[in-house]
């Protein structure tokens, strides 16, 4: 050992201590960076060096009949407790058949199943079965050499996640609204969200709640907000649903209960869409009142089309040459299916086909806004004595549906002409219209 130390480094002899320090495998010395050590076990003599409090194997000399005990000769400084930097390098095989190498580094186990970490092309798990053991052995040797030369596995430092505590309500509602605007929702829904956002911002400013935290946004404040917006329970219900949709993500993020789910608003009783009586007189009155509204109501009644979504967007190209049929693509109707709808004679006589690319109401490429027919109907309803309280623009479609069902008695035909995807929708439709489907003759008799 003296001969080896003398040839290896002169300063080893200068600082050599005659009485060696006996240490176990878990008991090593920590010294300044320039210090060297000599270790002997049963098969190997090693020269070790300390670098930044890490034990590095500088060079190994394999020999026979060396002492079985581990000896460490301290060169300088005092002895301190320190664990091996890495140990127990070995081959491993998992229960699923994968093979690799394993070792402990700084009391943490590392496992590798290929040589990518040390920039070596070892793939024992993807090579042929007869080459797997050889690949694994070569990979083990490569990792051993890398470790001896100072390579160490990279430690992943995960940033500490700071748990959010709370957020300002004004900030939360603004962020949520901006996120929703970027998503692919319908124009109607985005319009409702915009209205809801503007109302709550107005309320927060009015009540001096701009510093209100989301956790402080409780049931009492929400009820006051809804009452501030409207006294109508139906309107309040719509706004409540929109606010809940906007803020749900933030309630979950900050581990808060969604207070909108606690509030129970009494739903208003459903109002039946009453069929229009004296339909012929109504059409005569509409003909002299407004041409566009007249055509819209004729198509809603005679072809059972939806006024705002389907009729308003019709082009002359959707009609055949004699205006006896309307062809609607899946993109043009709610059911998303292609439809061919026959046009009754009493409707045809009011249609005169023009430029196929033009809208039938504007006679241009432009289309009226979504509220166009709603506004016309509101004005007409105020002036007409024929229209009752619960009659709406959709009442023409509903009246036509009752007429078709009473004429045919066929739910499948009603489903087809209404453009419903499901027969259940047509059944619900008839129940909602209050159509009498049973008569006294249909009831049991006493025999």
Residue 218, SS3 per DSSP: coil
pLDDT, residue 95, reads 83
Dihedral over alpha carbons 235, 238, 240, 245 (to 10 degrees): -160
pLDDT value for 339: 80
pLDDT of residue 250: 92
Report d(CA 425, CA 432) in Å as an integer.
10
Please, is 391 exposed, middle or buried when counting C-beta atoms within 10 Å of its C-beta (0-12, 13-18, 19+)?
A: buried
Q: Which fold has domain 279-433?
A: hpI Integrase; Chain A (1.10.443)
Domain ranges of the chain: 2-72, 86-148, 169-261, 279-433
pLDDT, residue 162, reads 59
Is the model's pTM score more than 0.95?
Answer: no
Beta bridge partners of 213: 168
Phi/psi for 150 (5° steps) reads 110, -5
DSSP letter, residue 319? B
pLDDT at site 99: 92
- Sign of the C-alpha dihedral computed for residues 99, 100, 101 and 102 taken in this order: negative
* Distance from C-alpha of 89 to C-alpha of 144, rounded to nearest angstrom: 8
pLDDT score recorded for residue 389 = 81
**CA distances in angstroms from 23 to 48, 65, 148, 306, listed in the order given:** 14, 20, 21, 91
Ranges of residues in the chain with a pLDDT under 50 are: 1-36, 40-45, 50-84, 438-440, 442-443, 446-447
Q: pLDDT value at position 359?
A: 92
Contacts 24+ apart (CB under 8 A), 128-137: 132/99, 136/91, 136/99, 136/100, 136/101, 137/91
The string of pLDDT tens digits covering residues 247-273 is 999 999 888 999 998 888 766 555 556
Nearest to 60 by CA among 38, 76, 32: 38
Q: Is the dihedral of CA 424, 426, 432, 435 positive or negative?
A: negative
Phi then psi for residue 116, to 5 deg, are: -60, -40
In sequence order, which residues have a C-beta less than 8 Å from that of residue 54 and are 6 or more positions away? Answer: 85, 152
Distance of alpha carbon 427 from alpha carbon 333, whole angstroms: 20
Give the model's pLDDT for residue 306: 86
Closest by CA to 408, choosing from 421, 398, 420, 417, is: 417
pLDDT at position 362: 92
Q: Kindly provide the b/e burial profile for residues 415-436, where b requires at least 16 CB atoms within 10 angstroms of the residue's own CB.
A: bebbbbeeeeebeebbeebeee
In Å, the largest CA–CA distance within the chain is 127
The DSSP bridge pattern shows strands 86-93 and 71-72 to be unpaired
Query: What is the DSSP code string of 373-426?
Result: HHHHHHHHHHH-SS--TT--TTHHHHHHHHHHHHHH--HHHHHHHHT-S-HHHH
Burial code of 270-297, b = ≥16 C-beta within 10 A, e = fewer?
Answer: eeebbbbeebeebbebbeeebebbbbbb
Q: What are phi and psi of 359, to 5 degrees?
A: -70, 140
pLDDT at 222: 93
């Amino acid at each position: 050992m003296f001969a080896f130390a003398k040839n290896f480094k002169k300063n080893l002899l200068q600082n050599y201590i005659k009485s060696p320090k006996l240490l176990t495998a878990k008991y090593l010395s920590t010294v300044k960076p320039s210090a060297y050590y000599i270790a002997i076990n049963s098969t190997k003599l090693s020269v070790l060096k300390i670098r930044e409090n890490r034990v590095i194997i500088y060079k190994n000399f394999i020999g026979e009949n060396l002492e079985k005990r581990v000896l460490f000769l301290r060169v300088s400084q005092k002895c301190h407790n320190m664990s091996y930097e890495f140990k127990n390098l070995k081959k491993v095989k998992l229960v699923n058949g994968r093979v690799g190498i394993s070792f402990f580094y700084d009391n943490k186990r590392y496992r590798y199943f290929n040589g990518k970490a040390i920039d070596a092309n070892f793939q024992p798990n993807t090579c042929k079965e007869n080459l797997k053991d050889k690949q694994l052995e070569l990979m083990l040797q490569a990792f051993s050499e890398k470790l001896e030369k100072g390579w160490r596995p990279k430690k992943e430092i995960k940033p500490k996640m700071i748990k959010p505590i709370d957020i300002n309500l004004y900030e939360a509602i603004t962020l949520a609204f901006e996120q929703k605007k970027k998503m692919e929702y319908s124009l109607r829904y985005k319009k409702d969200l915009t209205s809801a956002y503007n109302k709550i911002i107005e309320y927060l400013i009015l009540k001096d709640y701009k510093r209100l935290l989301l956790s402080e946004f409780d049931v009492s404040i929400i009820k006051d907000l809804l009452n501030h917006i409207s006294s109508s329970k139906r309107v309040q219900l719509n706004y409540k649903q929109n606010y809940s949709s906007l803020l749900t993500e933030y309630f979950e993020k900050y581990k808060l209960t969604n207070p909108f789910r606690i509030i129970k608003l009494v739903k208003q009783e459903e109002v039946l869409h009453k069929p229009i009586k004296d339909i012929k007189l109504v059409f005569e009155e509409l003909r002299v009142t407004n041409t566009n509204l007249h055509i819209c109501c004729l198509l809603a009644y005679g072809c059972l089309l939806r006024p705002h979504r389907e009729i308003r967007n019709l082009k002359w190209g959707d009609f055949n040459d004699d205006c006896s049929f309307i062809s609607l693509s899946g993109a043009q109707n709610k059911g998303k299916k292609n439809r061919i709808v026959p046009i009754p004679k009493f409707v045809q006589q009011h249609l005169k086909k023009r430029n196929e690319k033009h809208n039938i109401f504007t006679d241009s490429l432009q289309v009226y806004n979504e509220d166009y027919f709603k506004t016309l109907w509101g004005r007409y309803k105020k002036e007409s004595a024929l229209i009752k309280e619960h009659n709406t623009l959709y009442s023409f479609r509903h009246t036509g549906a009752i007429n078709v069902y009473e004429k045919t008695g066929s739910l499948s035909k009603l489903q087809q002409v209404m453009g419903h995807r499901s027969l259940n929708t047509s059944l619900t439709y008839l129940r909602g219209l209050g159509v009498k489907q049973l008569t006294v003759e249909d009831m049991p008799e006493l025999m």
